[in-house]
């Protein structure tokens, strides 16, 4: 059982939770030696460390639990905004 975070209505137990998420753009820095990789060189297994190149990606900014009716209304309105909620 949970309370809808949009309309405040109490949702019955066993009802699947509907979640609305908003995303923001996040920049991830370059990380040196972030991944351990095993390669085979001259017939032997050798451990090497690879860099994470970083880059730009999405990150969940806001996530709210809503009832089925609010979730349906949110999808029909098309306001499932996934951009520019916050800038890191």
Residue numbers at the binding site for Zn ion (CB under 5 A): 4, 6-7, 66-67, 70
Least distance CB 10 / Zn ion (angstroms): 10
CB of 51 to Zn ion, least distance (A): 46
Burial of 67 (0-12, 13-18, 19+ CB in 10 A): buried
- Do residues 30 and 53 make contact, with C-beta atoms less than 8 angstroms apart? yes
The nearest distance, CB 14 to Zn ion, in angstroms, is: 17
Nearest to Zn ion of 5, 25 (CB atom): 5
**Integer Cα distance of 25 and 44 in angstroms:** 42
């Amino acid at each position: 059982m949970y309370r809808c975070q949009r309309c405040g209505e109490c949702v019955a137990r066993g009802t699947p939770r509907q979640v609305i998420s908003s995303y923001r753009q996040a920049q991830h820095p370059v990380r040196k030696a972030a991944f351990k990789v095993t390669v085979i060189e001259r017939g032997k297994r050798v451990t090497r460390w690879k860099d994470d190149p970083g880059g730009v990606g999405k990150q969940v900014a806001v996530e709210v639990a809503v009832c089925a009716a609010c979730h349906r209304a949110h999808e029909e309105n098309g306001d499932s905004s996934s951009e520019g909620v916050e800038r890191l």
